[in-house]
Chains A and B, each alone.
Chain A
């Protein structure tokens, strides 16, 4: 299937596309600051995204301090608490995870993995980063604006998002948030078009779509989805800005605020929820699919075994991507929409479990009888599988209307989505950084620090989020500033909350070990050589490490096989790089194998 030699002569198809014209920077500024090189842009994206991640991490500490020790920290009043929630959520989902996976990993890995010299439009790619940075600055500016950032919750539901009772509702907060989102979407569109077109139109000779590493498939599918999902958020943001600034009533029904009827009527708050979740649900998979792809490559490489069911893995990615556009209203079971919708959306939601299960089984079967190396990236990849299955199982509860209704807006929901789209993708991000750091810098990250970081993060994440399921089942609501006075809450729940907070502080602090490792290894890490993991994919076969501008030197690579030729019987070494001609074999599990 995937590694049949191209053409009867065994040769590779002739080059009928010219080599690209590459932009050549002339000064330090155009080389490292306003750089058009996808690799530099990737590092810029990652650095900004990780910095935003640290801010969002501190915000989560502040929330946990309030929940664990209510009333002890007087500066965390109800308003501040809601502001922290909102900013933590929006930052993590959009400005960290999306930007890191697509802007960071996408920029670094796509051109290298498909054998291109750069993205197809480097100039637009550069603009994408600077617009993203602008969006981040606008967002962070809201901390310093009068009234502070918006406290509307990361879903920004109207009408409360733009009413005076909500922090930032009638101040700058919500305006800056919406503006920042719109700027982010414009910037992302520039990047996303680049990622998609590079994968479709700029691959190396011999690199067919079905020979691409799953990392590229994941990032490609996610980018394409993002191009179709972000428009809904964009439109929602425009309309809410109209409501907030011009006093229109797109989302505002007739409403009484502080005893005063407002001059609004006839709008539909539900409309915003539909727009938001038409973006919001695909967004979950925009974050998850790159993680799926990366984890497939990590597992295959570190278990020295070809990925099981490659073709099914690709189709599962595409199926999940397509299905994720028809499940959005499962976030709205208690919103008061037509109950028949609930039936439809519960059905589509549960259907998504099929391709997802295919992926999980294939990961496990890849590991089966593999030569598993428990390297730091592999530990993170294995942890991802466990965490993702856990988070996915609670998704089955929340996907069913009757089970969801009593669980809505409890800590169970918080536990579910943090497991499935918080912890799981972050674990992959860490694994991927440990895996690709040697390619980016030429040095290995410190192994001991890495293992310390892994175990504390992995076990800690479970200690934090597992108990939340119980709190949720007990009926502890989420987004409540203070539950101390609720009579149905037993003292043990408060003890548990304090425990969670302490663990969260420890896990958060451990991330500093990781940050330290990133900087320390830059100079003191063990030199890695070009291919420390003995991986097959193209980015490890570059003539120099770190790859220079243009990636490949004089000649572009030529691809002769798929990305997963590990432990091939009869081969001299236990991996065959994609650009190595010679030995071919039939892949087990292929259609004519």
Chain B
């Protein structure tokens, strides 16, 4: 199969399907991932690496939670809000999650309009995404403030195992940093889209490379990843 692919590279590639096409791609010259740009390939591999970072964080948190000698606090109670006299468990987290997932939707729409060369809609949708992301970080700041007022610290908290606070601040902080950087880059790319950099292939200030609308999609990859990570944090930290 691989020999076939090599002897007649081009035709095999065009005709192959399924696993054969994978083999053909990998045995081709120049590119292992056909028609995948450098930037996109790089983002995917970076996200793979980042997946390992978050996996290590989450697995470490689970280990800490299982090995601690003091009972773990009940997240439903700790993260409850009393609104109008009614105590709602996890209500803030639910809204935060909804906001972040919605931002993935607007991001996907931005990518779509980007490929249609619709400069204004792309930029506006990216700004909406950034706004939703900033709202998420803002609500996280509110949540942190509330917990800190109630006495939660990285090294101790009033409800149980000290590792609860340690893991909480570390993991949500690390994720929040990711979201914040995402917002920053969303704003930068939205500005470039708005200014028409990608229509005129204006060169980057640092890299002197031509700008392409693909930047919107690469940004989208990162943004969806940050959302996906949040789903795991939500499941493992808040729902467990």
Chain A residues near B (Cβ < 8 Å)? 1, 4, 6-8, 12-14, 16-17, 21, 23-24, 120-123, 189, 192-194, 196-197, 200-211, 224, 227-228, 230-232, 234-236, 238-239, 242, 246-250, 254, 263, 265-268, 271, 275, 278, 559, 591-592
Taking CB atoms, residues of chain A closer than 8 Å to B56 are: 231-232, 234-236, 275, 278
**In the complex, per-residue mask of B172-193: 1 if CB is within 8 Å of any chain A CB, else 0:** 0010000000000000000000
Inter-chain contact B9/A239, CB cutoff 8 Å: no
Inter-chain contact A242/B53, CB cutoff 8 Å: no
Alpha-carbon gap, A196 to B38, bound state (A): 10
Taking CB atoms, residues of chain A closer than 8 Å to B208 are: 21, 23-24
Q: Which of B41-49, B91-99, B103-111 contacts A (4 or more CB under 8 A)?
A: B41-49
Q: A235-B56, A239-B170, A559-B29 are contacts. A246–B45 as well, Cβ < 8 Å?
A: no
What total of A-B pairs shows CB separation below 8 Å?
170
Inter-chain contact A248/B207, CB cutoff 8 Å: no
Alpha-carbon gap, A514 to B155, bound state (A): 52
Which chain A residue has the least Cβ–Cβ distance from B161? A266
**In the complex, per-residue mask of B4-42: 1 if CB is within 8 Å of any chain A CB, else 0:** 001111100000000000000011111111001111011
Alpha-carbon gap, A202 to B30, bound state (A): 6
> What would be 27 A-B contacts, judged by CB atoms less than 8 Å apart?
A1-B6, A6-B29, A7-B9, A8-B8, A17-B30, A21-B208, A121-B39, A123-B206, A189-B49, A193-B45, A200-B32, A201-B31, A202-B30, A204-B29, A224-B45, A231-B52, A231-B53, A232-B52, A235-B56, A235-B57, A246-B166, A249-B163, A250-B64, A265-B162, A266-B161, A271-B63, A559-B29
Taking CB atoms, residues of chain B closer than 8 Å to A263 are: 155
Residue B70 interfacial (CB < 8 Å):
yes
Taking CB atoms, residues of chain B closer than 8 Å to A23 are: 207-209
Inter-chain contact B155/A247, CB cutoff 8 Å: yes
Inter-chain contact B38/A120, CB cutoff 8 Å: yes
Inter-chain contact A120/B29, CB cutoff 8 Å: no
Inter-chain contact B6/A249, CB cutoff 8 Å: no
Alpha-carbon gap, A24 to B208, bound state (A): 9
Taking CB atoms, residues of chain B closer than 8 Å to A189 are: 46, 49
Inter-chain contact A246/B154, CB cutoff 8 Å: yes
Q: A7-B9, A197-B42 are contacts. A591–B161 as well, Cβ < 8 Å?
A: no
Alpha-carbon gap, A102 to B165, bound state (A): 38
Smallest Cβ distance from A292 to chain B, in angstroms?
Answer: 21
Alpha-carbon gap, A391 to B45, bound state (A): 33
Taking CB atoms, residues of chain B closer than 8 Å to A227 are: 45, 48-49, 52
Inter-chain contact B29/A248, CB cutoff 8 Å: no
Taking CB atoms, residues of chain B closer than 8 Å to A248 are: 154-155, 162-163, 165-166
Taking CB atoms, residues of chain A closer than 8 Å to B53 are: 231, 234-235
Inter-chain contact A265/B30, CB cutoff 8 Å: no
Residue B82 interfacial (CB < 8 Å):
no
Which chain B residue has the least Cβ–Cβ distance from A208? B29
Which chain A residue has the least Cβ–Cβ distance from B206? A123
Taking CB atoms, residues of chain A closer than 8 Å to B36 are: 201
Smallest Cβ distance from A104 to chain B, in angstroms?
Answer: 21
Alpha-carbon gap, A230 to B31, bound state (A): 26
Q: How large is the interface on B (under 10, 10 to 19, 20 to 34, 35 or more residues)?
A: 35 or more
Taking CB atoms, residues of chain A closer than 8 Å to B30 are: 13, 16-17, 201-205, 207
Smallest Cβ distance from A247 to chain B, in angstroms?
Answer: 4
Q: A249-B162, A271-B64 are contacts. A592–B32 as well, Cβ < 8 Å?
A: no
Inter-chain contact B63/A268, CB cutoff 8 Å: yes
Taking CB atoms, residues of chain A closer than 8 Å to B45 are: 193, 196-197, 224, 227
**In the complex, per-residue mask of B115-153: 1 if CB is within 8 Å of any chain A CB, else 0:** 000000000000000000000000000000000000001
Residue B210 interfacial (CB < 8 Å):
yes
Taking CB atoms, residues of chain B closer than 8 Å to A209 are: 26-27, 32
Residue B60 interfacial (CB < 8 Å):
yes
Q: State which of A4, A121, A239 has its C-beta within 8 Å of the C-beta of B38.
A: A121
Taking CB atoms, residues of chain A closer than 8 Å to B27 are: 208-210
Smallest Cβ distance from A59 to chain B, in angstroms?
Answer: 30
Alpha-carbon gap, A17 to B37, bound state (A): 10
Taking CB atoms, residues of chain B closer than 8 Å to A559 are: 29
Taking CB atoms, residues of chain A closer than 8 Å to B60 are: 235, 239, 250, 271, 275
Inter-chain contact A228/B162, CB cutoff 8 Å: no
Taking CB atoms, residues of chain A closer than 8 Å to B9 are: 6-7, 13
Inter-chain contact B49/A203, CB cutoff 8 Å: no
Q: A202-B30, A239-B60, A591-B3 are in contact. List 19 more A-B contacts (CB 8 A).
A: A4-B6, A13-B10, A121-B207, A192-B49, A196-B45, A197-B41, A201-B30, A210-B6, A210-B27, A231-B56, A246-B153, A249-B163, A250-B60, A265-B69, A265-B162, A268-B67, A271-B63, A271-B64, A275-B60
Inter-chain contact A246/B155, CB cutoff 8 Å: yes
Smallest Cβ distance from B1 to chain A, in angstroms?
Answer: 11
